[in-house]
Structure 1
Amino acid sequence: MPHLCTGKSCDSIALKSPLWLSFQSDLSMAKGFFVSKTLAVVGLVLSLAAVATIVALSVVYSQEKNQNRPEGGGSTSHPPTTQHPSTTQHPSTTQGPPGQLWDRYRLPTSLVPRSYNILLWPRLQPDSSGMYVFTGNTTVEFQCVEETNVILIHSNRLNYTLLENGQRAQLTSITMGVQAPTISSSLIQEQTQYLVLFLEAPLRKDAWYQLHMSFKGELADDLGGFYRSEYIEDGVKKVVATTQMQPTDARKAFPCFDEPAMKAYFNVSLIHENGTVALSNGKEIETTTYGMEESKSYMKTVFEPTEKMSTYLLAFIVSDFSFINSTIDNVLIRIFARQSAIAANQGDYALNKTGPILKFFEKYYNSSYPLPKSDQIALPDFNAGAMENWGLITYRETALLYDEKFSSNSNKQKIATIIAHELAHMWFGNLVTLRWWNDLWLNEGFASYVEYLGANEAEPEWGVNDLIVLSDVHRVFAVDALTSSHPLSSNEEDIQKPAQISELFDAISYSKGASVLRMLSDFLTEKVFTMGLETYLDEFKYGNANYTDLWKHLQQAVDTSGTSLPNSITNIMNTWVLQMGFPVVTINTTDGTVSQQHFLLDPEAEVTTVSPFNYKWIVPMRWMKNEVVQEPKWLLEKSENIIEMMTSSEWVLVNLNVVGYYRVNYDQGNWDRLLSTLATNHGNIPVINRAQLIDDAFNLARAKIISTVLALRTTQYLDKERAYMPWESAVNNMDFFYLMFDRTEVYGPMQLYLRKKVEPLFNHYKNITSNWSSVPEGHLDQYNQVTAISLACRTGLSECQNLVKTWFMEWKNTGINNIHPNLRSTVYCNAIAAGDAAEWDFAWKQFKNATIAIEADKLRYALSCTRQPWLLNRYLEYTLDPTMVRKQDGTSTIVYIANNVIGQSLAWDFVRARWSYIFTQYGGGSFSFSNLINGVTERFSTEFELQQLKQFKADNAEVGFGSGTLAVDQSIERTSANIKWIAENKESVVDWFSSAA
């Protein structure tokens, strides 16, 4: 789904700044829309429900508005996982009293849909009350597999046209000799999001029926379900009707059985204004004249039936966009975007790369792409990075459109990797779909792994495969080292409510999933891994599966190939999937022992989650001795003698190329030999492992396993380092020091030390670019040039600061921007930080006038860099005004401001004061609450801040935190660890920097 923004795929977020960012998705009218509490109650009165039920549901609605969160805002963290059913478990229709059925969040098993006929008509102009609406009707054909006298179908904020008998739906039988029972009454259950239809007699087992409904809904700007996106082109306001269904918002567009296992065929038709184009998952069959309404002429476009698929993969779009196209092996590829963007050739790069990536995955899966077309569309308003709707992939503009005048090389990589991520889903996720959301990690983790393979196929000279270590492995280590983490796979019964489902779209599912699957592919070999994938996809195509089904097919591939493993795939992988966290593997070269323990950032934190394996993992070990790669080993127990003792001149390096999902520690003698090698000939250690040594050391120090001084020593060789990955690893880890110490006496000596380390790198790029007049040739060298300038300016190197101010002022004074796209984010940020209101206002004007989304993103980020508190407060207010900052950008903008040392307390006060408003108004999809909460609390390191955070949790228990519930607990745990770390390390850190500088 929603492709999560991480690492270099985050546009300007990835371009480091002096203020440093860590990172960053009823046509049956009961008269009125579910847009207010009052109207909701009116709708319930008309539904003829009992008064008591009306009151109860009204209260529930006000609590659950915009997002169906846990009652009372309670924790939805994931309990220990001890067993995982191989099939989806639904509540039986025979369980308990009848009133309990619609109070459950899971559909009963009584009805199974086969097909839908859907007609939708979005209005792209507001009605007389100023509201944008859509109307529609749908007929769903289903089989009764279990006798029942009640029909439950998902429905959220839809109003239904009442029939002559006062009911919201019409039921007919299509089985010969079977009479459809009469619908006696109906109600809307808002909490569990159902239309409930009561029948005078039960449906007959094995009989087929059709259910027809007409409805009307609001085409709101909430970025979920069927919604509207607005933009200005050539001075004219334009509206797009578009969709985002995953995970549980198809029910906002039409009534449906909205669970991933309820696959069906969809026959879609759209009514739209003449002059607009309609798109859906299927290929267009015909477009005909439909009629007139309010002097406007309308067309009707009918689409081919879809393949059998899940509701969350549906898409319907009406716009006046243009497109470009090509054909590869009879598959039509089209890129849609705003007319001006297509005219400026901004879709060309995506079009050129989609075909090769699509062919790569056909070869990788050994399975032909199953659809006749692959449409991709760039939307002005879109909460996630992209969404893998089958045959009609939706993107943010920054994730699909490329313009060499404005786009950096990181923007280009983001486009390639996100296209690869979404195309990977066409098979893994769409063709074969998870049975229930507790296995989300398998979908998203897999796509997050193979996106690097697909992007590498598109751009083989970039070397992007290695970047998964920085962007995913190291990133998710920070979350998975907390006691408030959770296993990859959860118990199905623990993931019921929409908010609990949304909470799974986190770094664990995406980045840990990717890291663990990469490790699996490595120890199996890609040949065996893809052999298992091929048979898995073939057996479950157009159906549903879970992760144990994949293990079965991979085991068959292992057995067929004769691959030697120390245990079964299931037993090996369950240690990584069914328990949270990861191990630190300790190598003792004096006696050859290797041991493992659960790695915790705060070793004193209490682990309350019970592990089915007692926090022991089956660990694959790739390693080298001196410069020679050794035969792989397996660590099966807590401690084993599995390597030979080393001499005083030999060093050992474990987790070669960081293919294993674990950290590594050594005895002091081996650490000393590794540090000596870095100092004298760092090229003897592979570049990925140079990044690993730095990252492992700093995090081992935070966990009190080694000293902080030892971790700092890993940076001493950096004045000789020119490779991107070690520098990025060092800068990422020093960011923690900035967060903890940029308000203390440590700051000065730290700045001086880092300035001395980065100055040679800064001068290196100055020289090879002929005094900044050209761009380095290599992809990663271009990244490292940005790192050099960002860190040099951040640490106060005057030559750097003067350089960026000069570039910015030339643009401001002449109106001509000659700053290279690679450097714009860091130049803008540093210049605004050094300037005053004049620089900020200039950048704001450029942001508001920007017609290129990528350029607007760079400016939006840079505006957060000012050191003027009043400007930052003004900017914070803009984040809740969609005419100033788009809803899709609200969260990241607040987090940008919070990462500014001056803006952090302002952002925290802002979020606390407006939490109820933010949650209520933006909970439907505009805000990512986990990123927001983590972002505004990341710098917390005092007892006062910890108490504020706990009070924030208590004060907003009734409002709730939705998908950010777990993030609140993680922030509390992280703050507690920070307090302890500073108390224990501040003195030694300031002494070390002072002497080293």
Structure 2
Amino acid sequence: MLTRVVRPNLLRVMASAKRAFSRLPSTVVPSNYAIHLHPDLEKFTFAGKETISVEVKEAVKEIKLNCLDIEISSASYRSQESASVQAKWTYNKDDELVTLSFAESLRPGPGSLSIDFTGELNDKMKGFYRSKYKSPEGEDRFAAVTQFEPTDARRAFPCWDEPAVKATFDVTLVAPKNRVALSNMDVVEEKDCDSNLKEIRFSRTPIMSTYLLAFVVGEYDYVEDKTSNGVLVRVYTPVGKKEQGRFALEVTLKSLPFYKDYFGIAYPLNKMDLIAISDFAAGAMENWGLVTYRETCLLIDPENSSSMTKQRVAIVVAHELAHQWFGNLVTMEWWTHLWLNEGFASFMEYLVVDKYFPEYRIWDQFVAQDTARALELDALRSSHAIEVPVGHPSEIDEIFDLISYSKGASVIRMLHNWIGDKAFRTGLNHYLEKFSYKNAFTEDLWNSLEWASDKPVERVMRTWTEKMGFPVLTVSEKKEGNTRILEFSQSKFSADGASSDDSYHWLIPVSLSCASKPEEVRAEFLIEEKTKSVKIENVASTDWIKVNPGQFGFYRVKYSSEMLSSLLPGIKSQTLPARDRLGLTSDLFALARAGVSGSVDYLRLVECFSNEEDFNVMSDIGNSLSTFRILLSNIDLDGAFHPFAVKVFEKLGDKLGWDAKEGEGHVDALLRSLVIGKLGYYGHQKTVEEAKERVLDHAKETRVLPADLRVPAYITSLAHGDEAMFDALLGVFRKATLQEERMRVARCLGCVRDPSLIEKTLKFSLSDEVRAQDTVFVITSCCGTKSGRELTWKFLQENFPLLHDRYEGGFLLSRLIKETCQHFASEEKAQEIEAFFKANPAPAAERNVLQACENVRLNAAWIKRDGEAIRDWLTKEK
């Protein structure tokens, strides 16, 4: 357990990490890097030299730095009082270190370390790497770009590559004259080197961590404008596509002033660049002043981008800009506290989008997506705490997951609701002011919020960040006239339904609402005990009581049968607010999946939603039914399940139709796409016929499909189509110049059901037509059917050396392994998966292998427990 008392030990040695690992010595620390880099875009190499201003804290004969895939050609040290002394060097590839050794001890005091080196512009989307793109004339070209988080600055230059070892940076790049060169800061000097090359010198950065440094050399257009307080914003796009940067520019111009006002601190740089990178593993990266993005997370084509993509661009842009304060200005001390960066950015992004795009109803989507997915993962025994000790770089990527992002954001939302917005903002300002340009621990934030709110923030929140999992509140009631006496008990919720360990105990902020005023909070209190009795006065005997209104709390609720029955009329009449209807169905599905209640009971409950028209509620139900479908496909019951699923969506599908109506908005477009996609996949005949006709017309370019309808139409036509349909959509993929459209098609190809077409999709995923950043999503799209899962698992095993080499140490490998393996449903398959990864280890994905196998065993238990009951009920329903 992390406390201030044990900090020094945690800083030096991560004893609980999987591999023995020590932090860099603090005997020598940098204050400034003067870096000169010359990338060669033809040979895919770079030459570099750096002079690092350092402070020698105590006499040493060696200096250790992080260094990986770098060849040093010379290294020397000069103090202020003595001549330069040469170093010898040795590499430790396993620990990603270089040790510079000197004949005599270096005396304490200031000095400078000079290193000349060379490296490769690799093709692994990490460090200083090459990104392939096509010129407007169709020629293959390359850009030199960076991705340093979490630990890949060491692939570009030897450095102290730890977030707590901050410094300033003076960057100089040598680049072809016909290329754009960018870094975190603005250009202070540009001069010719020769007839082909120029040298660009950038102004000094603020003091910051190495993982936030960035540079790009390539061909780009841009659009620009200034914020209300004078910050120059540019959105860089592929040549000829600058208009696709307009929406991201709009979001940025709104977000930066919003954060300035919310945090009470201005954005400290004079420019903000956002740039679309062709090959990029993550969605985006918050480099200070130069944020890098996948094209699909930054570019919007007014004619061909869907409403969901536009919403995603708004969210991702707002997320990365929040990092300019949370992460860049104040940085976590070590990766154990990653959630301070990601959880807060994942919460703040929704505040911005909700303010400027209220039509998105984005907080409802937060509950349906972030909170729901985090609860699902955190119910596993192989989950982890928000704060988890990490050491060696191979362990860090593993925690860039839903726990750090979505659970982190969800508990922050719970905290924000508990202490109120005013105290929250005051506390954040105190925290950011106190730790500007420094590093912080989680308890530093709790102290600031506790000071601002006068509530026991640290005592409460430590129960949420220092242990994995979350509680289920079991609640029953007694009626005494107009008084209700509620009995609560808390226990750890487990996906397998097992009794919880009594050592698990949370301090839970709880609120209640009643039928008479469903939008208002009737009571608020803190549950500190295992059990608690609460008395509520003046509640009509016919009123329902809803626990966790607005779904702010990160917990499940299990009602007594009487309390649940009283809520059902509120579902049918929709007097129960949409977010609460969503929370109710989400909790009941989780309880059924865990075996705490019956699966058939949940399916019966779904029938109560026959009048439901809310996108987020139907999205949650759709996700639950998809889980049932995949589960039941393991026992060949998916076909029997499809007619039931059609009935759930058919009434709404008839009302919505295919074409948008006057007065409809953003959420209506999302709902139509959802419903058509579900009806089509499950085999609703009219929807299938319409989808096929529209897709073929679109492929022939005789009738363009609206962007919002393309994914559901592609899925439907492929799921019920033949090779001709498959080839028609491949043609759409090959003609498209918009990366969003190419990925729309590629991610749908795996919906085919013919085994030969699944094999064709898998082969296509590794072809030159699919970018390495996208291969994983094409492969995992094939896992929706029983035969698809078997073929994909076989494909993964046969191609694992190639895939592991391509994605080693990154989250894409973890995602590939988990999505490929987790939907099986037998002990034999779980053991087969374990045996394969024991023989073919993937250290950065070990937790994902555990989670996949746990899900396989949970699926097997679910089928054994409820399979026959579901079969009988579906047969009678049919």
Give the TM-score, by structure 2 length. Answer: 0.95
The answer for the alignment partner of 2:482 in structure 1 is: none
Structure 1: gaps of 5 or more residues: 1-80, 96-101, 127-131, 162-167, 560-564, 608-612
Give matches, 1:672-683, under 5 Å.
Answer: 672-679=565-572, 681=573, 683=574
Preserved CA contact (<8 Å) 1:446 1:514 = yes
The answer for the alignment partner of 1:702 in structure 2 is: 593
> Which of residues 56, 70, 75 in structure 2 aligns to 1:169?
75
- Cα shift readout 1:350-404 (whole Å, capped 9, x = no counterpart): 1122111111111110111100000000011100000000000000000000002
Paired letter, 1:349: F
- Provide the rounded CA distance (Å) in 2 between the counterparts of 1:842 and 1:750: 29
Preserved CA contact (<8 Å) 2:21 2:392 = no
> Which of residues 923, 926, 934 in structure 1 aligns to 2:808?
923
**Pairing 1:317–2:206 present:** no
> Which of residues 509, 512, 518 in structure 2 aligns to 1:623?
512
The answer for the alignment partner of 2:750 in structure 1 is: 864
- Provide the rounded CA distance (Å) in 1 between the counterparts of 2:489 and 2:659: 49
Question: How many Å apart are 1:624 and its aligned residue?
Answer: 1.0
- Provide the rounded CA distance (Å) in 1 between the counterparts of 2:9 and 2:301: 49
Paired letter, 1:316: F
- Provide the rounded CA distance (Å) in 2 between the counterparts of 1:966 and 1:150: 36
Give matches, 1:563-962, under 5 Å.
Answer: 565=455, 568-590=456-478, 592-604=486-498, 614-628=503-517, 629-644=521-536, 649-679=542-572, 681=573, 683-744=574-635, 746-766=637-657, 772=659, 774=661, 777-812=664-699, 814-881=700-767, 883-923=768-808, 925=810, 928-956=812-840, 960-962=841-843
Paired letter, 1:276: R
Question: How many Å apart are 1:918 and its aligned residue?
Answer: 1.6
The answer for the alignment partner of 2:113 in structure 1 is: 211
Q: Report % sequence identity.
A: 34
Question: How many Å apart are 1:901 and its aligned residue?
Answer: 4.0
- Provide the rounded CA distance (Å) in 1 between the counterparts of 2:303 and 2:87: 64
Give matches, 1:93-492, under 5 Å.
Answer: 104-126=21-43, 132-161=44-73, 168-174=74-80, 178-179=81-82, 182-183=85-86, 185-205=88-108, 207-233=109-135, 234-292=137-195, 297-328=196-227, 329-342=229-242, 345-491=243-389
Preserved CA contact (<8 Å) 2:630 2:785 = no
Question: How many Å apart are 1:103 and its aligned residue?
Answer: 8.6
- Cα shift readout 1:437-462 (whole Å, capped 9, x = no counterpart): 00001110000111111112331322
- Provide the rounded CA distance (Å) in 2 between the counterparts of 1:231 and 1:790: 32
Question: How many Å apart are 1:677 and its aligned residue?
Answer: 3.0
The 1:104–1:693 alpha-carbon spacing in structure 2 relative to 1, beyond 3 Å, is closer
- Provide the rounded CA distance (Å) in 1 between the counterparts of 2:400 and 2:499: 25
Paired letter, 1:337: T
Preserved CA contact (<8 Å) 2:680 2:713 = no
- Provide the rounded CA distance (Å) in 2 between the counterparts of 1:84 and 1:917: 44
Q: CA RMSD in A?
A: 2.1
Structure 2: gaps of 5 or more residues: 479-484
The answer for the alignment partner of 1:542 in structure 2 is: 437
Q: The residue matched to 2:635 in structure 1 has which SS?
A: coil
The answer for the alignment partner of 2:481 in structure 1 is: none
The 1:774–1:651 alpha-carbon spacing in structure 2 relative to 1, beyond 3 Å, is closer
Question: How many Å apart are 1:791 and its aligned residue?
Answer: 1.4
The 1:909–1:436 alpha-carbon spacing in structure 2 relative to 1, beyond 3 Å, is same
The 1:994–1:251 alpha-carbon spacing in structure 2 relative to 1, beyond 3 Å, is same
The 1:91–1:659 alpha-carbon spacing in structure 2 relative to 1, beyond 3 Å, is closer
- Provide the rounded CA distance (Å) in 2 between the counterparts of 1:773 and 1:714: 30
- Cα shift readout 1:653-690 (whole Å, capped 9, x = no counterpart): 101110000000111111111123323x1x21010111
The 1:147–1:815 alpha-carbon spacing in structure 2 relative to 1, beyond 3 Å, is same
Paired letter, 1:638: K
Preserved CA contact (<8 Å) 2:77 2:87 = no
- Provide the rounded CA distance (Å) in 2 between the counterparts of 1:183 and 1:872: 59
Question: How many Å apart are 1:914 and its aligned residue?
Answer: 2.3
The 1:501–1:85 alpha-carbon spacing in structure 2 relative to 1, beyond 3 Å, is farther
Aligned residues: 862
Q: The residue matched to 2:834 in structure 1 has which SS?
A: helix
- Provide the rounded CA distance (Å) in 1 between the counterparts of 2:70 and 2:524: 58
The 1:773–1:331 alpha-carbon spacing in structure 2 relative to 1, beyond 3 Å, is closer
Preserved CA contact (<8 Å) 2:224 2:249 = yes
Q: The residue matched to 2:304 in structure 1 has which SS?
A: coil
Question: How many Å apart are 1:917 and its aligned residue?
Answer: 2.8
The 1:808–1:353 alpha-carbon spacing in structure 2 relative to 1, beyond 3 Å, is same
Question: How many Å apart are 1:180 and its aligned residue?
Answer: 6.1
The 1:980–1:647 alpha-carbon spacing in structure 2 relative to 1, beyond 3 Å, is farther
Paired letter, 1:898: C
Paired letter, 1:807: R
The 1:514–1:113 alpha-carbon spacing in structure 2 relative to 1, beyond 3 Å, is same
- Provide the rounded CA distance (Å) in 2 between the counterparts of 1:605 and 1:111: 52
- Cα shift readout 1:699-751 (whole Å, capped 9, x = no counterpart): 11122222223322321122211111111111111111111112435434422
Paired letter, 2:60: T
Preserved CA contact (<8 Å) 1:755 1:797 = yes
Paired letter, 1:831: S
- Provide the rounded CA distance (Å) in 2 between the counterparts of 1:900 and 1:708: 21
Q: The residue matched to 1:261 in structure 2 has which SS?
A: coil
Range 973-982 or range 637-646, more displaced: 637-646
The 1:643–1:606 alpha-carbon spacing in structure 2 relative to 1, beyond 3 Å, is closer
- Provide the rounded CA distance (Å) in 1 between the counterparts of 2:12 and 2:317: 41
Question: How many Å apart are 1:89 and its aligned residue?
Answer: 4.8
Range 535-544 or range 182-191, more displaced: 182-191
Q: The residue matched to 1:461 in structure 2 has which SS?
A: helix
Question: How many Å apart are 1:255 and its aligned residue?
Answer: 0.8
- Provide the rounded CA distance (Å) in 2 between the counterparts of 1:948 and 1:227: 36
- Provide the rounded CA distance (Å) in 1 between the counterparts of 2:725 and 2:5: 59
- Provide the rounded CA distance (Å) in 2 between the counterparts of 1:779 and 1:811: 23
Preserved CA contact (<8 Å) 1:259 1:310 = yes
The 1:617–1:606 alpha-carbon spacing in structure 2 relative to 1, beyond 3 Å, is closer
Paired letter, 1:620: P
- Provide the rounded CA distance (Å) in 1 between the counterparts of 2:239 and 2:361: 34
Range 546-555 or range 583-592, more displaced: 583-592
- Provide the rounded CA distance (Å) in 1 between the counterparts of 2:508 and 2:640: 40
Range 657-666 or range 754-763, more displaced: 754-763
Range 967-976 or range 383-392, more displaced: 967-976
Question: How many Å apart are 1:992 and its aligned residue?
Answer: 2.7
Question: How many Å apart are 1:109 and its aligned residue?
Answer: 1.1
Q: The residue matched to 1:715 in structure 2 has which SS?
A: helix
- Provide the rounded CA distance (Å) in 1 between the counterparts of 2:640 and 2:580: 28
Range 404-413 or range 787-796, more displaced: 787-796
- Provide the rounded CA distance (Å) in 2 between the counterparts of 1:92 and 1:649: 61
Paired letter, 2:431: Y
The 1:257–1:89 alpha-carbon spacing in structure 2 relative to 1, beyond 3 Å, is farther
Paired letter, 2:850: D
